[in-house]
A and B are shown apart, each in its own frame.
Chain A
C-alpha cells in the first residue's frame, strides 16, 4: 500500500473498478449545507479577509486613479509609440478575457461531458469568469482615445447618423465580449438561485433574509420548477459551449484578420481558445488552493479535483505548444520571408527575453504535470499555476509587441517600453479582480451546494435499477433497441 492510501484526504488513487469519491469525509446533505453556507452566514469574517480587502481595494483605487489620469491626459501617458500602436492595454484585455474561459469550460463543457467533479468548483470558476471579463472590458473601453464618444461602439442612433462598421473585428469583439459577459452572468445566477434560497432559509439576520430572499426569486425546490430549470441549465450550457469557442476566436480575429506577419495565421482561433482555457485553469487553481485551505473546503474541493484540473492544464498547455510549433513550421514552409522573419525575430530579436519566458512557462512548465507526484502536490502545483499565469500574459505580449515593433519598413522599427501608468493600471486591474473575488467569497456560496448534493452517493434514488418507477408517459422508448427490422 502506498502512503497515499492512508491519507483520508487523498482520493487520487487510480482504480478502474471504482471511481474516486468526489466528496470526502463523513458528509451528508446537512453537513454540506452547513459547512458551505456558514462561511457566508455564521462565521466571523477572518481578520485576514479585512487585510486582504484593504490591500485589493487600495489597488482598485490605483486602477481608477490611473484611468482618471489617462482620461485627463490622453493615451500619450502609455508607452505606445509609432510602430507599436497596441501595447499593454490589448495585452491585458486578451489576458483577462482568456482567464474567464476556464469558468465557462467548467460550467458548460464539463457539464455536457458529464464530468461530475465539476460541481465542486464550477461556482467559483464561473464567478472568476465574470470578474475577469469585467477587468478585460475596461481596457478596450479606456483605449478608445475619445472616451466621451465610446458609445459609438454600439449601434445606437446618434446625431451624425453614423453606424458602426460591422466588418471590423474590433466591433465583433464588442458583441462577443458583451454576449459572453451577459450569458455568463445569466448562467452563474441561474445556477446560484437554489443556493441563494438555501441561504435565505438558513439566514437569521433580517437583512440577510431580505437580500437573499429577493435574490432567490421565491425558489422553493419544486420539482416542477426543477424540471424546467434543468432544461434551461442544459440549454444555457449548450449555448455557452460554442459561445466560449467564439469569444476567444473573435479576440484572435483582432490579430489574425490583419496582414501583419505573426498575426495572420489560421490556427489562431482554436489556439487562442486552448490558451485561454489553459490560463483560466491556472487562475482558478491560483485562487482555489488558498480558498479551500482557509475556508475548510478540502473535503469538497479535493485533491482529485485539483489533479483533474492539472490534467486539463497539461492538455491545453500541450495544445498551445503544438500551435507554437505549427506556426513556426508554416512560417518556414510558406516561403514568405516576412513571416519567417517575424518568428525568428520573436525568438532571437530584441524581445527574445519575453519569448523565452513565454516558452518556458507555457510549454515546459505544464509538461511537468505528466508526473503524478507533481499533479498531486499542492504547493508544487500552485507554483506551476503562477508560472502559467506569467507565461500566458507574456504570450499576449509577445504576439502583440514583437509583431509590431519591426514591421515591413525597417526605418520605422522601434522598441516598446511600458510607462509607470501602464504598469500601475495593470496592477490595479488585479486589485479590482481580487476585490470582487473577496466580496464573492464573503457574500455568496463558494461551492454549488445543490449541484454537489446531486453527486453525493446518497442522492441516487435508485441505485442498481433502471427506471424503478416505470415509464409513465412513454417519453423515453423502452430500453431495448430492437435489432431486427427497426
Chain B
C-alpha cells in the first residue's frame, strides 16, 4: 500500500541557483559565436547577405513561433481556469517574456528585408500587382507593423509575467482575478496580431501568393513546437534535480496529449490549405505549391508530411507512449526538428528554386536559439520556477488523469 501524499514544493528544488549562471554563460556563448560565425559564412557567400537573410528568417520564425506559442498558452490557462499546468506555468511565462529579446533578434529581418522580400527589393516597383498592395507591403509599413506587434506582445507577456511574480511575493488573489479578466482580451489581441504577423513574416516572401488561413498555419506549427520545447525544458530541469516529484507522469501525459492534438490540428490546417488550392487549380495560388513540389523541394515536402505529421501522429497515439518518458522525449525532439524543416520548406524555395542547404542554416539555429535560451535562463534566474502562491497550485500538484 503505497500511500502517496500530495507532493509539496519542499520535495524538490524550485530554483535554478547555480545552474542558471552556467546555462546562461554557455548558451550566450553559443548564441554569440553562432551569430558571428553565421555572419561570416553569409558574407563569404558574396551575395550581399541574401542567403543569410533567408536562413536567418527560417530560424527567427522558428523561435518566434515558439515564444508566441507560450504567449497563447498563458491566457488559455486563465480563461479556462485550468489548474493542472500551474506547476510549470512559470516556464511558460519565461518563454513568453522572452519576446522583447526576440524583438531585438527581429532587427536583422527588418534591415535585410530588401534582400528577402521581393516586394522590398529595389527593382520591385514596376509590378502592377505590387502597386496594388504597396500600402501594405512597403518597408516603412513593414517596420511600423513589427514595432506594433512586438509592442503588443511585450505588453501582453509582461502583464502575465509581472503579476505572476508579484503573486509569488504576496499571494494576492487579485492578480489571478486581473489576469483572468485580462486573458480574454489578450487572446483577441493575440489572434489579430499573430495572424497578421505570420502573413508578414512568411507569406509575403512571395508577395503574389495569398492564403487566408496562413496565419493559423504559422501559429499552429509554432504551438506544436512550443509544447515540444516545454516538454524538453521540463525534462531537462528534472535531470538536474529540479521540479522532480511535483511534475509527475500525469503532467507529462498531458504534454503528450497536447503535442498529439496539435500535430493533428496543424496537419488539418496544412491539408485544408493544400487541398483547396490543389483542387481549384488557379495559377496564382498553385504557384506557391508548384515551387515547393519540384526540383528537390518536393522531397522536402514529403519529409514534412511524414516527419511533422504521420510519424509523430502514429508515435504519440497510444497512452503508453505519452506516459513513457524516453519515448515522449524522443518525439518532442523529433517534433522540434520536423517543425523546423517545415519552416525551411516554406521559406527556402523562394531563395533558390533548387534544393539548398548550408552550414549557415545550422549555425543560425544555434545563434538565435542560444541567444533565446540565454534570455529565458536570465529571466528565470533568481526566481522560483514554480508560481508558488497561485491559488490553484495545490490542484496542480495533486493532478491525476482520470
Q: Are B213 and A267 within 8 A (Cβ)? A: yes
Q: By the criterion CB–CB under 8 Å, are A16 and B276 in contact?
A: no
Task: State whether B4 touches A467 (Cβ < 8 A).
Answer: yes
Query: B264 contacts A479, CB within 8 Å?
Result: no
Q: A270 and B244: CB pair below 8 A?
A: no
Chain B contacts of A311 at CB under 8 A?
A: 79
What is the distance, in angstroms, from B205's C-beta to the closest C-beta of chain A? 14
A266 and B245: CB pair below 8 A? no
Question: Which of A19, A259, A266 gathers most chain B CB within 10 Å?
Answer: A266
Q: Could you pull out 28 A-B pairs where Cβ atoms are within 8 angstroms?
A: A14-B177, A17-B173, A17-B392, A112-B257, A249-B272, A253-B275, A253-B279, A264-B282, A266-B277, A323-B212, A327-B212, A330-B210, A333-B133, A466-B4, A466-B6, A470-B1, A471-B2, A476-B249, A476-B323, A479-B4, A479-B245, A479-B248, A480-B244, A480-B245, A481-B245, A483-B240, A483-B242, A486-B239
| B295 contacts the other chain (CB 8 A) | no
Take A14-B180, A330-B210 as given contacts and tell me if A483 and B79 are in contact as well, using a CB distance cutoff of 8 Å: no
Stretch at the interface among B188-196, B297-305, B350-358: B188-196
Asked if A482 is at the interface (CB within 8 A of a chain B CB), the reply is yes
- Chain B nearest CB, measured from A453 CB (Å): 14
Report A334-362 CB contacts with B as 1/0, cut-off 8 Å. 11100000000000000000000000000
Q: Mark B384-396, 1 if CB is under 8 A from A, else 0.
A: 0000000110000
Closest 8 CB pairs of A and B: A267-B212, A483-B238, A483-B244, A266-B213, A269-B272, A470-B1, A257-B279, A16-B391
Residue A469 at the chain B interface, CB threshold 8 Å: yes
Chain B 165-205 interface residues, beta-carbon cutoff 8 Å to A: 173, 176-177, 180, 184, 187-188, 191-192, 195
| B 215-237 contacts with A by CB, 8 A | 215-216, 237
Interchain CB contact under 8 A, B173 and A318:
no
Task: Name the contact of A265 in the complex, choosing from B177, B212, B238, B240 (C-beta under 8 A).
Answer: B212
- Asked whether any CB of chain B lies closer than 8 Å to the CB of A157, the reply is no
Assembly CA distance A267 to B276 (angstroms):
10
Tell me if A370 is interfacial: C-beta within 8 Å of chain B. Answer: yes
User: CB-CB < 8 A to A115: which residues of B?
Assistant: 80
Does B273 touch A at the CB level, under 8 Å? yes
Whether A481 contacts B398 by the Cβ 8 Å rule is: no
Q: Does B269 contact A (CB under 8 A)?
A: yes
- The reply on A477 being an interface residue by CB < 8 A is yes
B241 touches A484 (CB 8 A): yes
Chain A interface size, under 10 / 10 to 19 / 20 to 34 / 35 or more: 35 or more
A16 touches B180 (CB 8 A): yes
A136 to chain B, nearest CB (A): 21
CB of B402 within 8 A of chain A? Answer: yes
Chain B residues touching A, range: 35 or more
Q: A19-B81, A256-B276 are in contact. Are A477 and B210 (CB under 8 A)?
A: no
- For residue B252, CB closer than 8 A to chain A, the reply is yes
Point out residues on A near B: beta carbons under 8 Å: 14, 16-17, 19, 112-115, 242, 245, 249, 253, 256-259, 264-270, 311, 314-315, 318-319, 322-323, 325-327, 330, 333-336, 370, 464-471, 476-486
Selected contact of B133 from candidates A17, A335, A466, CB within 8 Å: A335
Give the dominant DSSP class at A's interface: loop
Not counting A318-B191, A336-B284, A486-B239, a sample of 6 additional A-B residue pairs whose C-beta atoms are within 8 angstroms of each other reads A113-B80, A245-B268, A259-B280, A464-B6, A476-B249, A484-B241
Chain B, range 74-108, C-beta contacts under 8 Å to A: 79-81
A470 CB contacts on chain B under 8 angstroms? 1-2
CA distance A242 to B262 in the complex (A): 11
- Chain B residue numbers with a CB within 8 Å of A113 are 80
Which chain B residues lie closer than 8 Å to A468 at the CB level? Answer: 3
User: Which of A17, A266, A314, A481 lies in contact with B247, CB distance below 8 A?
Assistant: A481
Chain A residue with the shortest CB-CB distance to B272: A269
Given the interface pairs A322-B192, A481-B245, the reply to whether A266 lies near B276 with Cβ below 8 Å is yes
Question: B7 contacts A314, CB within 8 Å?
Answer: no
Most buried by B among A113, A267, A325: A267
B211 within 8 A of A: yes
Q: What distance in Å separates the Cβ of B310 from its nearest Cβ neighbour in chain A?
A: 15
A298→B9 CA distance, assembly (Å): 41
* Interface of chain B residues 1 through 60 with chain A (CB within 8 A): 1-7, 12
Complex contact A270–B216 (CB within 8 A): yes
| Residue numbers in B under 8 Å from A323 (CB-CB) | 212
**A267-B238 contact given A249-B272, A335-B129, A480-B248, CB 8 Å threshold:** no
Q: Is the CB of A266 within 8 A of B391?
A: no
Question: A480 — which chain B residues lie within 8 A by C-beta?
Answer: 7, 244-245, 248
In the complex, what residue of chain A is closest to B253 when comparing beta carbons?
A476
Query: Once bound together, how far apart are the Cα atoms of A253 and B132, in whole Å?
Result: 29
Which residue of the partner chain A has the closest CB to B137? A333
Which residues in B have their C-beta under 8 angstroms from that of A477?
249, 323
A322 touches B195 (CB 8 A): yes
Check B280–A257 contact: CB distance below 8 A. yes
User: Does B325 lie within 8 Å of A314, measured CB to CB?
Assistant: no
